Chains A and B, each alone.
Chain A
C-alpha cells in the first residue's frame, strides 16, 4: 500500500498544477527562473538549502516553476549556466563563490540574460552580485556567547579551512572581546577538504574536545558538520550557536542562538524583482543594516537570553548599523588584525 502513496501524491500534485498553473501564468508576467547550486548540493541543511527554501517559497507564492541543477564538479558550473541560458531561463542564480569565474564567462556570452551570484562579486551589467557581511552577524552572536559563558571559554568549530570561514571566526572573536576582553576563544577547523562540510562525527569530537577544555558555548559554522557539533554540546548540557538558517529548533533549551544569513530572502527577492521588471545589476552587500545577516531570537531560545543580554546585543547591533562599531573583515587583508 505504502508504495502507492508517493506516486499518488505526485499524480495529485500534477493534476493540481495542471488545473491552477495556467490560470496564474496568464495573470502574471512569466519568468523562467533557474538555480545552479554549489557542489555541496541543495540539502546541506545550511547554505544551499537556504537558497532552495527561498525558491520553494517563490514557487508557492507565484506558481512559477524553478529549474534546478546540482553540479557534481566545478567544470559543470559553466556547462550548467550555459545550458540554462541557452534554454532561455531567466533569471539564473549561481550559488556560491566558486561559480564566479564560470559565471563571468557565461554572462558575457548572454548579455540579455540576468544572472545573480551569491557570495561573490562579478562586475558585469547583467549580473547581480549578492554578498553578505557575515562578520557582523558573527560579531553579535560572539557578544551573546561572551555574555552567556560562565567559564569565560568559548569555542568555534569551522567547516573547511577557507577564508570565508575565517571571516565568521574573526567576527565572532571580535564580538567576544567586545563583550568580555578576558574571554578566551578556542578554535578548531573540521578539515581542509570539502568533506569537512559533511562530517558530523568529527564535528562532535571537536566540540567534545573543546568542552573538556572548559568551553561552555560553541559556535558551529560548518554546514552539515554543525549538526554533530550542536548534538555534542546538547549532550554535555552546554550551549550551541547555529549558522546560516535558524537552527534554534534543533535543540530547544541548548541553542543560545543562530547566526542568520538570509540567502533565502536574497533568492526570493531576486526572482521577485525579475518578475516585477525591477531587476537591477550591480553589487548588493547585505549586512545587519540591510537585514542580510542577524541573530535569531524565538521561543526556542528566549529563556536563555536575559533582558540584559538582549539589550547589550541590540545596542551592539545599533552601533554596527550606525557605523560606531566597525567589524573587521578577515578577507579584506587575509588576517584578523587590522
Chain B
C-alpha cells in the first residue's frame, strides 16, 4: 500500500537521484510526448513550451496564480498523503473540501456582522477543518467498525457532498435575488488578505492575482504534517499501521482510533482548499469550488512520494501546469483546454503510473555507487 519506497528495488539508487533526478527525468519524458503531440496538431513545440513556462513564471501575476493553484494542490496532496501513511486510500478529498467550505462559509455568514474580522477568519479556518474532518469521519467510522471499504465510501461521499451543497445553495444559502446559486458576499474584514495587499504593506509591489495568505497556511500545514508524522508518537503509530497493521496491533495501537485520527486529519487538510477558495478568492460560498483539486491531490501525493516537501514541489508543478496551461490555450487557440488536460494527464502518467520506467537506466548510470 505504501508509496514511500518500491519494494522490488534490488539495487538502491543514491538518495539524491531518487529524490531529484528520477522525477525530473519523468517530467522530461512527459514533455517529450507532449511535444510530439503538439507537433502533430501543428503547434511549434518549443514555442508552446516557452509560452507554458512564461505563462507560469513570467510575471508577478502569473507566479501569483501558479502559487494560488499550488495552494489547493498542497492541501489536497497532504490530505491524501496523511491517509496514505496509515494505509488508507482517501479518495474523498473533493467532498471533504466541499463540506469544509460549508463550515467555513457558515462560520463567516453567521459571525461577520458581530465579531472582528481576524477572529472570524480564525474561526472560519477552524470550521473548515472541522467540517472537512467530520465529513471524513463518517467513512472512517464505517471502515473502522463495520469494515466498509474506505475507497468506496469516500468516493460515494463526494456525490453526497455535492448533492447536499447544491440543495443548500439553491434552497437555503442563496443570496436573495441572486441569479447565481451563491451566498451573500462575506464582509470585507472577514476575508483572507490577498498576497498583493500583504506585500504592498511592506513596500513590495506585485500585480493582482488570486494568491492570498492561504498559501502561507498551506506551507505551515506541510511543516506541521512533517512534524506530526515523523516527530510524534502518534505519527509513528500511524505510519506503523500503514506499513504493517498487525505489527501495529501487536505494539498496542488501536487500529480503530488510528483510522479515525488519520481520516479526520486528512479531511481537515482537504478543508484547506475551502479556505483558499472561499476566504481567499471568492469571498462567498460558491458551487463547485473544489473543481477536481481533491482528485488531483492523489496524483500530487503520488508524485511527492507522500512526503510534505515532495508534495509542495509536486503541487508547484501542478500549479504551474494549470496556470501555464491556461496561458497556453490563451495564446494558441489550437491548444484547447482539453489539450491542457492531456498535458497534465501525461505528467501524471509518467510521474505516477510509469514512475519507475527510467529506473533501470538510472541504475545503470548511478546504481553501483549506491
Contact = CB atoms under 8 A, between A and B. Distances in A.
Interface string B221-243: 00000000000000000000000
B329 A100 contact: no
B174 A192 contact: no
Interface stretch (A44-52, A77-85, A274-282, A283-291): A77-85
Given A72-B340, A78-B210, A100-B179, A193 B162 contact: yes
A74 B286 contact: yes
B278 to A, nearest CB: 12
B180 interface: yes
B282 A120 contact: no
A93 B42 CA distance: 28
A336 interface: no
B181 A162 contact: yes
B288 A74 contact: yes
A69 interface: yes
A74 B278 CA distance: 12
Contacts of A161: 166, 170
Contacts of B180: 97-98, 100, 120
A97 B288 CA distance: 15
Contacts of A131: 179
Contacts of B288: 74, 193-194
Contacts of A120: 179-180
Contacts of A244: none
Contact of A163 (B181, B284, B291, B341): B181
Contacts of B330: 69, 80, 83
B162 A192 contact: yes
A193 B98 CA distance: 12
Interface residues of B, number: 32
B181 A101 contact: no
Given A97-B180, A120-B179, A192-B163, A163 B289 contact: no
A190 B47 CA distance: 43
B210 to A, nearest CB: 6
B333 interface: yes
Interface in A300-338: 331, 334
A11 to B, nearest CB: 10
Contact of B179 (A7, A193, A331): A331
Contact of A121 (B179, B181, B337): B179
Interface string B170-182: 1000101001111
Interface in B330-356: 330, 333, 336-337, 340-341
B179 A72 contact: no
A304 B162 CA distance: 41
A97 B282 CA distance: 15
A105 to B, nearest CB: 9
A70 interface: yes
A131 B179 CA distance: 10
Nearest to A105: B208
B326 interface: yes
B65 interface: yes
B135 interface: no
A17 interface: no
Contacts of B292: 73
B167 A74 contact: no
Contacts of B182: 101
A210 B114 CA distance: 50
Nearest to A42: B336
A25 interface: no
Given A10-B42, A80-B330, A193-B162, A75 B281 contact: yes
Nearest to A78: B210
Contact of A76 (B277, B326, B333): B326
Contacts of B333: 68
B179 A79 contact: no
Interface in A143-200: 160-164, 192-194
A216 interface: no
B44 to A, nearest CB: 14
Interface in B248-296: 277, 281-282, 284, 286, 288-289, 291-292
Contacts of B157: none
- Pick from B65, B286, B329, B330 the residue with the most CB of A within 10 Å: B330
Interface in A114-155: 119-121, 131
A289 to B, nearest CB: 21
Nearest to B288: A194
A72 B176 CA distance: 28
Interface in A60-96: 68-76, 78-80, 83
A32 B288 CA distance: 32
B75 interface: no
Given A74-B289, A331-B179, A69 B170 contact: no
A299 to B, nearest CB: 35
B186 interface: no
A194 B163 CA distance: 11
B318 interface: no
- Pick from B180, B182, B210, B286 the residue with the most CB of A within 10 Å: B180
B68 interface: yes
Contacts of A331: 179
Given A79-B326, A193-B162, A193-B288, A70 B336 contact: yes
B326 A72 contact: yes
Contacts of B162: 192-193
Contacts of A78: 210
Contacts of B341: 72
Nearest to B162: A193
B53 to A, nearest CB: 17
Given A10-B42, A98-B180, A163 B170 contact: yes
30 contacts: A7-B42, A10-B42, A41-B337, A68-B333, A69-B330, A70-B336, A71-B326, A72-B326, A73-B292, A74-B286, A74-B288, A74-B289, A74-B291, A75-B65, A76-B326, A79-B65, A97-B180, A100-B180, A101-B182, A101-B282, A101-B284, A119-B179, A131-B179, A161-B166, A162-B181, A163-B181, A164-B179, A193-B162, A331-B179, A334-B176
Given A100-B179, A163-B179, 13 more contacts: A7-B42, A68-B333, A70-B329, A72-B337, A72-B341, A74-B288, A75-B65, A80-B326, A160-B166, A161-B166, A164-B179, A192-B163, A334-B174
